[in-house]
Structure 1
Amino acid sequence: MIIDKLTVEVFPDPVTLGTAAGAAAAESLRRTIEAQGSARLVLAAAPSQTHTLAALSVAEGIDWSKVQAFHMDEYVGLPADAEQRFGRWLGRHFRASAPLTVFDPAGGSDPAAEAARYARLVSERPIDVVLAGIGVNGHLAFNDPPADFSTPDVVQVVELDETSRRQQVDEGLFARLDDVPAQAWTLTVPFLLSAREIFCMVSGVAKAEAVRRTLQGPVDPVVPASALRTHPRARLFVDREAAGDE
């Protein structure tokens, strides 16, 4: 199924979804390395990405020394050793040997300066592949609604809305809402859409309404993930629960 420019693929369960998405991302990386000698990869860190990252990590034929990886968002203010930090989460779930550039491991004593530093690094050359998810409120990375679809910024420091913070508790990443940081760094929607290819993985009934709103109605900052419908090489992988009636 294609909605606007977005290819939508439905799978019976999260494992099948992740296997297919990991294989597709691996093929994209192999083609990119063959064509230009290296690849730049942006990763989401969330439970919805676990099976995809597992499949990608063991994919054959990828010279990981030629892949530079980044992650798309991070909490401001968490200690360097906090298990909830997305950089640490990726270290546990993305086992490939690609170098991973992380946001400030000290937790961000100067969030604006760290946003500028990370922006310089991630935008040195074009991004080839993005692996993304969709939040229960339709966010893309930590671009909560209403997202900025026209900003020239690469990275922003954002205030997280309660729905995004509650999702972190519901997914077992934090014990209480008060434990979830109020701010985060995020790659912006325009920068994510500048990537050559985007693979977005969504599973579970909790995401069904966000998927419906992403695919139906106008492309709207109130549903940040709807921007995926404008990208010429974006693919949305959903399981049956997340697909709902789609």
Structure 2
Amino acid sequence: MNLNETIQPLQTTAVDRLRVQIYENRQQMGNAAGSHVAGKMKELLSTKSRIRMVFAAAPSQNEFLQTLKSSEGIDWSRVTVFHMDEYIGLSLDAPQRFGTFLCERLFDEVKPGEVHLIDSSGNIDEECLRYAGLLGEAPIDIVCLGIGENGHIAFNDPPVADFNDPMLVKSVELDLPCRQQQVNDGCFATLQDVPTHALTLTIPALCSGAHLYCMVPGKTKTAAVRRTLNGSISTECPSTVLRTHPDCTLYVDTDSYGGELE
């Protein structure tokens, strides 16, 4: 079954340069996004020897990741993968680690040719430089991301977001709404369990990707999606920067879109 042909959005629209596709539910949204990313990967691999991708780790990505790993015809041995953030202060075997999340749901099964995980267990400044060096070795082809309840992309919360950040990777203090979201998502039992700091790819690092795919399902994201599409482009809602990217598609379901369909 060709998901790209069988699952069509209820509506498509555009805000500035950002394409928006609205689906009936999160499963259809994830299926469509996974199919589209798989198609782009195969297209790029038909003309390039290798491609480089960045992935988000969050429950919002589950349906997308399931579809992507089930897609046939992708030569993952020619794919180099990164992820976009990691907590500071969690043990290496903590199930909430984002590297662990992606290994369990994608990397361990598809076996990319190169897997670069953020190591937040040692010297933080050195790790920022190491990971930035890996990211900067060649252009990033595809970034698969989400949007937080406070409008963050990766862990670029409003207080620390910088559209012109000189760094590719930095350590940040997590905003309270961001930490609360981790409880809302069921990743941690209480707010006190959520780390206060993390490493994150910066907004310029994310936006350097040639092709961006942003998956944002669920009623908890309605306000963030509305601000992303209707608010002024500013770090008060970091995800508004996606409206300036030359090739970004936002995938939402009717719950996260929240508005009237035309």
TM-score, normalised to structure 1, is 0.97
The match for 1:66 is 78
Task: Give the counterpart of 2:132 among 100, 107, 119.
Answer: 119
Task: Give the counterpart of 2:246 among 212, 232, 246.
Answer: 232
Task: Give the counterpart of 2:150 among 137, 140, 158.
Answer: 137
- Contact 1:136/1:209, CA 8 A, preserved across alignment: yes
Which letter does structure 1 place at the counterpart of 2:80?
Q
The match for 1:199 is 213
Task: Give the counterpart of 1:81 among 59, 76, 93.
Answer: 93
Which letter does structure 2 place at the counterpart of 1:102?
L
User: What is the CA–CA distance in structure 2 between the aligned matches of 1:208 and 1:35, rounded to whole Å?
Assistant: 38
- Please state how far the C-alpha of 1:127 moved relative to its aligned partner: 0.4
The match for 2:257 is 243
The match for 1:103 is 118
The match for 2:50 is 38
TM-score, normalised to structure 2, is 0.91
Identity of aligned residues (%): 46
Q: Name the SS for the 2:52 alignment partner.
A: strand
Which letter does structure 2 place at the counterpart of 1:103?
I
RMSD (Å) for aligned C-alpha atoms: 0.9
Total equivalences in the alignment: 244
Which letter does structure 2 place at the counterpart of 1:100?
V
User: What is the CA–CA distance in structure 2 between the aligned matches of 1:116 and 1:130, rounded to whole Å?
Assistant: 20
Q: Name the SS for the 1:198 alignment partner.
A: strand
Which letter does structure 1 place at the counterpart of 2:256?
A
- Please state how far the C-alpha of 1:38 moved relative to its aligned partner: 1.0
4+ runs deviating over 2 angstroms: none
- Contact 1:44/1:141, CA 8 A, preserved across alignment: yes
Give structure 2 stretches of 5+ with no counterpart.
Answer: 1-12
- Please state how far the C-alpha of 1:77 moved relative to its aligned partner: 1.5
Q: Per-residue CA shift, 1:136-176, capped at 9, x if unaligned?
A: 00000000004100012100100001111110011111111
Which letter does structure 1 place at the counterpart of 2:116?
T
Which letter does structure 1 place at the counterpart of 2:250?
L
Q: Per-residue CA shift, 1:38-73, capped at 9, x if unaligned?
A: 110100000000010111111111100000010000
Q: Name the SS for the 1:213 alignment partner.
A: helix
